[in-house]
Chains A and B, each alone.
Chain A
Amino acid sequence: MHRNASSGPLLIAVAVLLGGCALQPVQPWEKGDLAKPAMGFAGDLLEERYTQHIYTSKENASGGYGAGGGGCGCN
């Protein structure tokens, strides 16, 4: 009995927190705020572009760092 009473709020908290996992992915037309320079990992856009250019050539993959523009998938 005692165990049930204390796990109730915990279960509710877990359910609420897991609800956050059900967030819908950001759609291509919703990336206005994500496209802002402040949302990038790097402080300097030019430097980040340079770094990504090198990285792209090594990894054969590109994009996803906010340096290439508006999420158009066309680099």
Chain B
Amino acid sequence: MLFASLAAAIDAGAPAPDFTVAAADGKPLQLSAYRGKLVYLDFWASWCAPCRRSFPWMNAMQEKYGAGGLVVLGVNVDQRRPDAERFLAQVPARFMIAYDPQGAAPALYAIKGMPGSVLIDPQGRVVFAHAGFRDADRDELEAKIRAALPPRAN
């Protein structure tokens, strides 16, 4: 019980733990439903300043690589939903948003900092986990996303 939540960090190549969170419309959203897509999973909160910086970048990634098989999934971990909605009114998200007020999903991934992101390949394996977001991270993260995109069919 004492150390139950201190799960080891997720390693690259490990299978990504599956979870179910609430989609924006309240319906359950299961991670494994996106098998076959490259999933950029991002845990964010309204009180997290770097999250505010990461949203425009995630919007750009979704727009640029969405057709190539990328799905950006922003899982909000605010305990109060109105906090998240106020944030989204200020910082619009043009990618999928889901809600996990209990924090079960970030616990599964042993997220080390906010925002915490995990790239999950089409086979459901972890490509990398990243803590925090700085503007200087943009290029490196984008390069990793591009390298992990599924090969084009044509």
**Which residues on A are within 8 Å of B, measured CB to CB?**
22, 24-25, 27-33, 35-36, 69-74
When A22-B2, A24-B5, A32-B79 are in contact, do A72 and B113 touch as well, CB less than 8 Å?
yes
Q: Report the minimum CB–CB distance from A59 to chain B (whole Å).
A: 21
Q: In the bound complex, do residue A32 and residue B83 qualify as a contact, i.e. CB atoms below 8 Å apart?
A: yes
B116 in the interface (beta carbon within 8 A): yes
B interface, how many residues as a size bin? Answer: 20 to 34
Give the complex CA separation of A41 and B144 in angstroms. 40
B51 partner residues in chain A, CB cutoff 8 A: 70
Q: B45 to A32, Cβ gap below 8 A?
A: yes
Is B47's beta carbon under 8 Å from chain A? Answer: yes
| A73–B2 touching, CB < 8 Å | no
Q: Are A69 and B49 in contact (CB under 8 A)?
A: yes
Interface SS, A side: loop
Q: With A70-B49, A73-B113 given, name 11 new contacts (CB 8 A).
A: A25-B5, A27-B103, A27-B107, A27-B111, A28-B111, A28-B113, A28-B131, A29-B77, A70-B48, A70-B114, A74-B133
Report the separation of the CA atoms of residues A70 and B45 in the bound assembly, to the nearest whole angstrom.
9
Are B133 and A27 neighbours in the complex by a CB distance under 8 Å? no
Which B-chain residue is minimally distant from A73 (CB atoms)? Answer: B113
Please tell me if the beta carbons of A74 and B106 are within 8 angstroms of each other in the complex: no
Q: Is the CB of A29 within 8 A of B1?
A: no
B131 touches A24 (CB 8 A): no
A71 and B114 within 8 A (CB)? yes
Would you call A72 and B131 a contact (CB within 8 A)?
Answer: yes
Query: What's the least CB distance linking A36 to chain B, in Å?
Result: 7
Find chain A residues with CB under 8 A from B48 CB. Answer: 35, 69-72
